[in-house]
Amino acid sequence: MMSESTSAATVERIEPLAGLNPAQREAVLHFEGPMLVLAGAGSGKTRVLTTRIARLIEHHGVDPSRILSVTFTNKAAGEMRDRIARLLGEEPKGMWSGTFHAIGARILRSSAHHVGRTSSFTIYDEDDSLGVVKRIMEREGVPQKQYSPKVIASLISDAKNALVPPAEYESLAMDPVSRTAAKIYKQLEPTLRAANAVSFDDLLVLPVEIFRKDETTLARYRDRFQFILVDEYQDTNRAQFQFIKLLGSAHGNVVVVGDDDQSIYGWRGADIRNILDFEKEFTAAKLVRLEDNYRSTPDILHVANAAITQNIGRKGKTLRATREAGEPVTLLAALDERDEADFILEEIKARRNREDRGLNEFAVLYRTNAQSRALEDALRREAIPYRLVGSVRFYDRREIRDLMAYLKLIANPSDEEAFRRAIAVPKRGIGDTSVDTLSKRAREARVPLSEVAAREDLQESLRPAARKALADFTRMIAGLRERAKDTSVDVLIQELIGEIRYVEYLQAEGPESARDRIENLSALVNGAAETVIDDGGEVGLTPLDHFLQRAMLVAGADALDPSADAVTLMTLHNAKGLEYPVVFLTGLEDGLFPLSQSFDDPPKLEEERRLFYVGITRAEEKLYLSHTEMRRRNGELLPSIQSRFLREIAASNLDQRKTLRVSAMGRGAAGRDIGFKGGYQSRRTHDVPSWRKVDPIAEAERSQDEPRYVKGERVKHKLFGDGSIAELSGVGREVKAIIDFDDETVGRKTIKLAYTTLERGQE
């Protein structure tokens, strides 16, 4: 959708080729045939893509509807459309531009019957899919204490993205966990089909399945999309590669843009071979390298080039600065994580005052989420605003998920996961046991759970009060479904909130908790009011369907407000695609960055180094690299060793500094203990009692996206018994968990985790 500033009436047309450098012009002027554009960080790849599309339309007369532009975030897709509109002087009507998942969803809406769905199917997010996996495990008698549902769901997700079907996965499964996953995987597709639902992975997998088995559908989309452009190609997985190959191999007009040096998502299925082997798959492909960097100073790029040249698995390019020389890159040695955080705080304050910078010009990057605690403590102490990117997504908040469950059920009566959540909030006297009984009847009768809930002949085992509650619930949903036909989504949400007395339900939990949640409800209504159906329309996509699809596909980066005056804290993975004038890259110690699990695994170590390169190239004007002499691990303050990535960079490229605390100790990695290009001296760790010995890097090796506890996890409290974590908030010692305990006399409680001990895995 185009913003008001780029509407056809107000667009000031821009000369497309003006100001392009030779490599950019070569990529833009290329017309037919495949092309790989190796675009270094900050080299203007978005400009190349948008200018190329504008030239196809204006110079070569290509109808915009014959162009498919694939990006990796909805925000990037919107920005591209806006830029193209400015270049053309009008909006490129009919052009498809979006993420792989959004485009996959659009194709599925019009071809849902090929995969056993209707056009009103529901998109399940990670939590929804995990719920389905858990229920299948229960039906199949798989003990969740022995086999983690999250692990099973992750294995199935990996198989789907690699396009390995259930039967093939079953034949390859050799260990007990894989064989268990194969058993669940086999039941997953029929279960999703019965619910008229698809998982997030299915948005990639099912379009490929449709193309492979229905030549007519494939031919229709091949004919429509005569020119295909793919951004961030280095991050594609097997399913995405096949999607592009199936659509583009006939005409070959496929242009992919990416940077093999920024491929950092191997842990979630991205395959760097897709970009490295592009010229093998499309043998006539032209290769263009974009190496002029418009973002960073020469000092920063010297460090970036020195770091990435250590990798072997790359096509090779060298970033060249177009900016004038600036400040040298600072390498800081701090005593511990608190000392590191204090230094960062003081530097931000000093630069803010000296250079009149906004807080939004500063970003602090780290390898794991656990590292944010000390940084947040320091910023809070001085009342400096910050935003934590990658924390709870808006649509993952409990109150939003509650209302979204109702909306999903209104849109899709077959959605069992939505039915289960909606009927449980607020409580109606219908427990899990009753719903499980109804679900069993639904499977036996081969009808949706919501239909069983509306048929008294299938409810004979329920007590009268439960039957009445079911009747009231189904009548209410039916009424809302009828109103949804001619009511805007924002009004529908307001009616829903009033109908179920949801504000009163939240207020009963306490005024402090309710205030923020009620504000989130208003934000949901506002978001629904602002939703406009994209140009072109989609088969079967009602306003409610459209709103739900947009909500499921929005990414964390899409909601990032660049104008917010706050310091940005985030993991390096979340920093991909962003840039800031001043960047602090922290925790550069072996075992933390790179993670120790990569030490004996060359491909993993190279991906860690690419992540380091991504962090460096986020900085525009000033870059700080920091490491500590000691870092706390599971309660023990243990010695640290400077990252091998730093030892690969010549000392002449770095301005080495120590904090006052390090200098006072007479130590420092920038001094006599550790040098560059020459390895490091070993240090003897202090003795730790055997009962307290832990892996010193265990905390660091947690997934960068996984907190200590997760929503939905089963836990056991010594006093209150078993329960499920409904929500988590806070960091460090301030982490609080809202837990729904199985004992109805206990109910829901908010517990500060620092003051209690929970047993894990009580599934």
- Residue 91 and residue 572: Cα distance in Å, rounded? 35
Q: What would the 3-class secondary structure string for 309-349 be? A: CCCCCCCCCCCEECCCCCCCEEEEEECCHHHHHHHHHHHHH
Annotated active-site residue 150? The verdict is no
According to DSSP, the residues that pair with 628 across neighbouring strands are 334
Compute how many other C-beta atoms are within 10 angstroms of the C-beta atom of residue 179. Answer: 12
Residue 218 structure tokens: 């494939």
Query: Nearest-CA neighbor of 411 among 219, 534, 532, 550?
Result: 550
Q: Which of 45, 134, 289, 421 is catalytic?
A: 45
Annotated active-site residue 349? The verdict is no
Annotated active-site residue 45? The verdict is yes
Q: Which of 6, 262, 368, 549 is catalytic?
A: 262
- Residue 220 and residue 250: Cα distance in Å, rounded? 12
Annotated active-site residue 46? The verdict is yes
- Residue 559 and residue 666: Cα distance in Å, rounded? 46
Q: Which of 46, 309, 487, 542 is catalytic?
A: 46
3-state DSSP assignment of residue 142: coil
Which residues have CB under 8 Å from 360's CB, separation 6+?
A: 562, 563, 564, 565, 566, 567, 568
According to DSSP, the residues that pair with 290 across neighbouring strands are 39
Q: Which of 66, 618, 622, 667 is catalytic?
A: 618
- Residue 377 and residue 730: Cα distance in Å, rounded? 11
Q: Which of 231, 259, 589, 629 is catalytic?
A: 231
What DSSP line would sit under 271-289, residue for residue?
-THHHHTHHHHSTT-EEEE
Q: Which of 125, 189, 202, 232 is catalytic?
A: 232
Contact (CB, 8 A) for 261 and 304: no
Where do runs of H (alpha helix) occur along 617-666?
Answer: 644-647, 660-665
Q: What would the 3-class secondary structure string for 103-126 be? A: HHHHHHHHHHHHHCCCCCCEEECH
Instruction: Name the strand (E) or helix (H) holding 633.
Output: strand 630-633
Annotated active-site residue 713? The verdict is no
Annotated active-site residue 618? The verdict is yes
Which residues have CB under 8 Å from 20's CB, separation 6+?
A: 28, 47, 48, 51
Q: State the first-to-last Cα distance of the chain, in angstroms, to the nearest integer.
A: 44
Residue 640 structure tokens: 């640290």
Catalytically active residues are: 45-46, 231-232, 262, 618
